[in-house]
Structure 1
């Protein structure tokens, strides 16, 4: 009896004849642009289920770490001093740019305000269900009903509800579940161990010797931030990839631990008080039923995704934002625009077998080129051709501006050569093809 009172079945929360219903998970960068395009299309209607009380995803800064008031791991991974590692001039959606401001590399609050303004401008809040967690998505087996059954939980009341939709847009992000590297005898280390998802401010490391493990943007930025607080900062990474200030020591990756030190891949022993893991994240979709056909190998490769986004087993489901080493927000926009043309029947996908064959072909090419499994969705230079292909087929090629790639490449080179200073640079977009890039004239950090 109690279960029946706590569980409510809703077949249609809003019935509109001849409209396809779209479920969007998450109100971050991908979810908001998805909802905007769904709302603007007369053939579609949809909503977002968002487990926090705000839009913005990981860009909503939260001081607290660990679990929230509902016992769920805090979604945001932003730290207090976070600034973007791409200039805002190329970060916006295809037709909704960041506002003009003094800086090109902006802080997390400015990014969060961009999303708040975007949501208000398109009146998205009325179709976002906050503090509502998606706990299960599975194909619907009821005849003559929409294809997907979605079960949600209202976190304030703990009531669960079933909804039915024609398509699913998964926008839960992939910067929340930490990847933990394999370090021999790690439990023997008597110092402190953190993952960057729980890093907020550098002052707690005052006077400590800190090893930062990683070579990505977070590892580099946090290492630079720690210099003024820690007694010693050691960046543990592939040395050839790091042009760091002299204040930061560089060693090869740590491979094993002792009580008060770590051994690196080259055999050096480094004493330290703290190991800060900037080792990245894994893909995680705990709300997807096994019946959806999605699997994640070693936390890094998602199968079977056609064009790195569409579920080949159920092509009315898309996973947004899986490619990495990209300019993310414009690509989210491209993927959404393409997918909506698919679910409306204006674009025809290959058959399931053909999509699976294409995925297997990519896998063979990866193996032939000796690309690690963890880099299966790594794009880099491939992102531009990918975006153009989607735009050509879905009819929005006029929104793709060549200058975005040019700025991205210029900013990437500057970031590599001057990691401590590039965030003071300034970019001006002149037209679709040209830009001005002014480098920081501050005294470089030594």
Structure 2
């Protein structure tokens, strides 16, 4: 979220950022409401000053025996108080409407972000060469079903479309990938592991930017508590420090968390409906960082490299892409997507998004830090990235490491997590 002062002081830049983002939003109403707000504040202050001036006059008039004049001043005060009440009620309404607009203004993109829609996304680098098969490669659904490790039909019987049952080595492979990712980020990258709740309140989702704009993408419980299933570990982990003032010496804070994720995928019907690409429930290992503002863009490079390390260890070809302004997420100032190669589709597909939110989430969640004792608190910068989306890693591993007979070779780095298993079956 942007502060009112930030929007006022950078009004034209914020307006241009909305154009660059292809956002269906203008700030005309904001400007009109802001003018009304300042006018109302001025009128309230003027009336209160008049009250303060009149009040001592009444006592003096009474002391001088001027009862009629004193009563006239009392009537004037009553009229002023009534006007103040009406003006303050109008001011409260204007401020509420201003906040409603502020809450749906997306984060302005960083100056280094390319301008344009999805077609303006820029490839930064590639790692690994897509494998040249001497046989027609199968997709993960055909492979997993034939191996007896993926069952979509029974999942549909239990829960409906866009759910999966992993069985046998398939379930163990999912668990192995989670453990491998966690260990890599803990032991080599220095993160602190967190196991957060999988249900969160509306304040938590507001803090990270899912509410109010994206409520349709969430699963909400129907009881009186108003809790939601998390769409990503970013939500509970970022909110660990909501309404806190951190000490400068605590920063940077880096957390890694495994959680299941739940998304309704509103509006996505007809896209990626086959297999594990787009599920209502999936596993993810998430990286979250809290840093000083001047360190956040170096941290974005660092965090992205940590996600890349997972793909490299698993011998999965991928490319790194910086998203253009029109393809950025609501809260992000800059995002790198990592896209893994899928042989069955002959293309790269997103497997991780690594984003710098600058102070956008911190302002919504009131997460600040103090550089020194007695110093004024400042908003931290928050970042997060998938390290990685486990289901997509599972399917990418099957497709890239498949063999002519339908078996799948396990990458060397993952074998210790599967009891030394080198191949499925």
Identify which of structures 1 and 2 has the higher relative contact order when contacts are C-alpha pairs closer than 8 Å and 6+ apart. Answer: 2
Superposition TM-score, scaled by structure 1 size:
0.22
Superposition TM-score, scaled by structure 2 size:
0.22
